[in-house]
Structure 1
Amino acid sequence: MDNIVFATNNLHKLQEVRDILKGKYIVRSLDELGCHDDIPETADTLEGNALIKARYIYNKYHVFCFADDTGLEVEILDGAPGVYSARYAGEHCSPEDNRKKLLKALQDEPTPRKARFRTVIALIDQDGEHLFEGEVEGEITTEEVGSNGFGYDPIFKPQGYDVTFAQMSEEEKNKISHRGRAVAKLAKYFKV
């Protein structure tokens, strides 16, 4: 079984990826690698931030690795918060702060408030750099619903479903989520 480093310490993301790769790969976190560096995400695109993180780990530790960046893009807000999704309410904000700010920004907008989640994974291996993208269309709800998941999950309802990501089990969400779709492309590349 091969080892690969996922350039994250986000335990939710790590578990999602480990579940999707189903034990075919040993996916190690930055913490397990012994990396506690604060890797700046200074690009203005998801692709750019994913590549920054993957290149940093590859160049410093000389291991095959991948990194991701995810954004929630709301149509009526011209794609915001997008690349700034994790810090939408400020540099040291909580996911709850981000959700509250977004709901407030949309409070006078009619439903459906179209949005999409987009994840870009940057992989560096023996063959160079590769990008894998996954997205899921949906809408922003008028209030938080559900207690599973993380981030914007309680206010995002995927297209074709009557529940938010936060109302789904991890297994259900992984089958249709943006990260699940990007990781599926990564897994196909790995021939998992």
Structure 2
Amino acid sequence: MKIVLASNNQGKIKEFKKLLPNDEVFAFSEILGKLEIEEDKDTFKGNAIKKAQTIYDELQKIGFGEVLVISDDSGISVPILNNAPGVYSARYAGLKASDKENNLKLIDELNKLGVDKTAAFYTACIAMVYKNEVYTVHGFMYGEVLNKELGENGFGYDPLFIPKGFSKTLGQLEFEVKQEFSHRNNALKLAKKVLDVIL
């Protein structure tokens, strides 16, 4: 099956390719080139649908044929910060912010409250567009966020987040370990159930 990911995030693309080893997985930019999609919805679901539908429509315009477009919108929410950064996770420190800059902003916000460690959770919404029908699923991962970075693995807020039941951050855990329970993998397991029905 040809699967096009509505993402340019190299970390996400690598993760999806590992999680879908039996399919032809492309990043949309490999086919459509540079295309900016503004993530202006106020929910993960809204942003995921917008990205997937936009890419699907563009692929139909060029006659790409039968394709499944998958997009995800995900982020970390910290209840003590009114669930920030939430849908703004990728641009918490500004529109073109790096992972490092976003991490430092979150650390700064925790330090303002005098907090070393507090509850947090990741949300991933996966949207799928196939034959112009839209399907969505959600996955979650719960744990705690720290006011310091630990580990070099992963991307995004991984060095700050300790998943429930672990003593190490996602930045310290190997991909093979965290993929078993990650929010994206939890969402993907549900997405695969949907795909088994529609494909």
Q: Same fold (TM over 0.5)?
A: yes
Show the 5 A alignment for 1:82-161. 82-107=86-111, 108-110=113-115, 112-126=117-131, 128-161=133-166
Q: Is this contact kept in 2: 1:20–1:184, CA < 8 A? A: no
Q: Is this contact kept in 1: 2:29–2:35, CA < 8 A? A: no
Counterpart of 1:43, as a letter, is K
The equivalent of 1:11 in structure 2 is 10
Q: Separation in 2 of the partners of 1:146 and 1:81?
A: 21
Q: Separation in 1 of the partners of 2:182 and 2:150?
A: 17
The equivalent of 2:63 in structure 1 is none
* Secondary structure, counterpart of 2:152 in structure 1: coil
> Once the two structures are superposed, what CA deviation does each residue of 1:66-99 show, in whole Å capped at 9, x if it has no partner?
1110111001011100000100011121111111
* Secondary structure, counterpart of 2:179 in structure 1: helix
The equivalent of 2:57 in structure 1 is 59
Q: Separation in 2 of the partners of 1:92 and 1:28?
A: 24
> Once the two structures are superposed, what CA deviation does each residue of 1:116-157 show, in whole Å capped at 9, x if it has no partner?
000101101137110011110011113100000001000011
The equivalent of 2:25 in structure 1 is 27
Taking structure 2 as the reference length, the TM-score comes to 0.90
- Residue segments in structure 2 that go unaligned for 5+ positions in a row: 61-66
Q: Is this contact kept in 1: 2:110–2:116, CA < 8 A? A: no
Q: Report the count of equivalent residues.
A: 190
The equivalent of 2:35 in structure 1 is 37
Q: Separation in 2 of the partners of 1:184 and 1:16?
A: 14
Shift of the alpha carbon at 1:40?
A: 1.0
Q: Is this contact kept in 2: 1:122–1:132, CA < 8 A? A: yes
The equivalent of 1:77 in structure 2 is 81
Shift of the alpha carbon at 1:187?
A: 2.0
Q: Separation in 2 of the partners of 1:111 and 1:27?
A: 40
* Secondary structure, counterpart of 1:176 in structure 2: coil
Q: Separation in 1 of the partners of 2:100 and 2:29?
A: 25
* Identical columns (%): 37
Q: Is this contact kept in 1: 2:70–2:127, CA < 8 A? A: yes
- Residue segments in structure 1 that go unaligned for 5+ positions in a row: none
Taking structure 1 as the reference length, the TM-score comes to 0.93
Shift of the alpha carbon at 1:35?
A: 3.1
Return structure 1 stretches of 4+ with deviation > 6 angstroms.
none
Q: Separation in 1 of the partners of 2:108 and 2:136?
A: 34
Q: Separation in 2 of the partners of 1:112 and 1:102?
A: 12
Q: CA 1:97–1:151 in 2, change beyond 3 Å: closer, same or farther?
A: same
* Secondary structure, counterpart of 1:16 in structure 2: helix
* Secondary structure, counterpart of 2:162 in structure 1: strand
The equivalent of 2:64 in structure 1 is none
